[in-house]
Structure 1
């Protein structure tokens, strides 16, 4: 399936919205069937309330899952507050939420230690749940399609290439008439997993041109900072000459065109479901036990591998979850990781987990205590 850059608009879930269930079982053993056909096949119901926060990249996925789960299961509340990956991890460490969504895994050292301390009787683990491509959206009048190598993107966001008719950009786009128009870059002003993954792409695919490494706090000088991906999308949308990195759903809902980007094979790759899956399939699990932290293979030479993506993890205690919340945590996450939970993601600008990885995630969820 190809992801249309001018597809149906995707509604963002309102931060902090509490969705209330209407019907279903409440003992953790039933399977709901009352929501949309095919979307609730793997739901087992539990009563209780969960407070969640973190990644805005997975906001649309969380909205879909909570809608389906809570319309099937009575006596359940699930509140996903968003707020960004960094804020979500902090709230999880402080014990104010039940699990967090984060577009980067827990960092070794103090961040992991603080999360483990919150769990008390078992380490916090990273469960990959929502793969999502990062689009390089742009606003260049008269240029409906654009190729950008990783090196060119790096030089643009480093401020070394400042005009759209630069020979550097022209080299990527032979035969295309590029306007004499200043470039205005937009980046996240808040700590962001999207920033981490986008800068990680540049650090790996444009090593000679990107010296800032990978960081959740935007590391390069210049450009305009915007809070949240919605701010970046708005900036690009309203600024001729603008360019920014954003989750695909934000580009599609704002009708922002996005570039084909360069990969390790030296090809300009279109952002499609199949091309993202080609890259994601080579990722390796580098965590231990049920910690399923991934490492992307940026050396992947598949000509059709789209290498600019993130994976949202659910950061959860392997042990030490509150007994009154554990059944709902497990049943909700089990549904999210099921085939029924993953299949609708393709219609929302995401990519479903590969089956082998999805199976590992389900096994890890079943072991939560």
Structure 2
């Protein structure tokens, strides 16, 4: 309830960013589902979009990227969202065709609950070994080495992972595979993975579940999106990046990570371990998926307007809730293919 209340206050505070009213529609319902990673910004977009388009109700259920893709494949929704973009074999199953668009970008943060400990630095070696179950106590010498002067407790490490099929898990494990050959060999990447048997672990669904479990579990560590962690006021670790620098998640460190990434024709690009002294190491685009053909022309029209809102006004809103605006060249690419949805 705390996060929902803060989100509603944020909506009221940001409403002035969007003005004017759109055309009226006759009770048009648009349903979407999928990633919980971008939920904070998507929920704001849709509340404001509904406000300015009378008769339209865009409803989005954050149930995890994997479940969103399942709903989309089964034609249970009008659009879906995922941090792990659809695979070619999944796209091939949609006879109407698929238009996939990056809509925002964000950072996966490592959050922790260690009583009395703030400003915790975690090296690449440390956080990969924690999720391999090889570092099991917070007073481990490898953790202490990066945190001189910090009093670390004799407290068991408990990893909080996602219980559902999750794009956040995909992004996090994709990064761990990039920085740790042992993680790549023994766990691998995916929306669901088989975590090591030695890992002391609790599982929770969606980002909100991870945050709630973390809050009630002293000694815990987990991963979720920066936007949620920021609103929920969770402690976030300072992570070592590819250049050997310790970096906090922020708008600037996320933009630095995205700066040199070129999107290919299919508009899918991964950043498993971005270069740059100031780049945050776990940064990602997140996508929406639309059918290219809809039976209802009014629904297709509203979806095009919804995308236009997201890539224009929505980019102004995103940083306010912890997300990274799309680079202008990505916005231009997205704008050019909106007409494919009809």
Q: What TM-score, normalized to structure 1?
A: 0.83
Q: 1:282 aligns with which of 226, 245, 260?
A: 260
1:23 alignment counterpart:
none
Residue pairs, 1:292-307, within 5 angstroms: 292-296=267-271, 298-300=273-275, 302-307=276-281
What's the CA shift for 1:131? Answer: 1.0
Give the paired residue count: 330
Q: What TM-score, normalized to structure 2?
A: 0.89
Shift in alpha-carbon separation, 1:210–1:166, aligned structure 2, 3 A:
farther
Shift in alpha-carbon separation, 1:40–1:362, aligned structure 2, 3 A:
farther
Structure 2 residue 319 is the aligned partner of structure 1 residue 341: no
Q: 2:178 & 2:229 partners in 1: Cα distance?
A: 24
5+ residue gaps in structure 1? 1-6, 14-34
| Structure having the larger proportion of residues in helix | 2
Residue pairs, 1:145-294, within 5 angstroms: 145-211=119-185, 212-221=187-196, 222=199, 223-286=201-264, 288=265, 291-294=266-269
Shift in alpha-carbon separation, 1:249–1:94, aligned structure 2, 3 A:
same
Shift in alpha-carbon separation, 1:64–1:8, aligned structure 2, 3 A:
closer
1:315 alignment counterpart:
289
RMSD between superposed Cα atoms in Å: 2.3
1:11 alignment counterpart:
7
Q: Is the 8 A contact 1:9 1:254 kept in 2?
A: no
Residue pairs, 1:56-95, within 5 angstroms: 56-95=36-75
Q: 1:46 & 1:364 partners in 2: Cα distance?
A: 25
Q: 1:45 & 1:206 partners in 2: Cα distance?
A: 52
What's the CA shift string for 1:165-217, capped at 9, x where partnerless? 11121222233221111101100011000000011111112334543222100
What's the CA shift for 1:220? Answer: 1.6
SS of the residue aligned with 1:185?
strand
1:352 alignment counterpart:
325
1:20 alignment counterpart:
none
What's the CA shift string for 1:9-37, capped at 9, x where partnerless? 74389xxxxxxxxxxxxxxxxxxxxx933
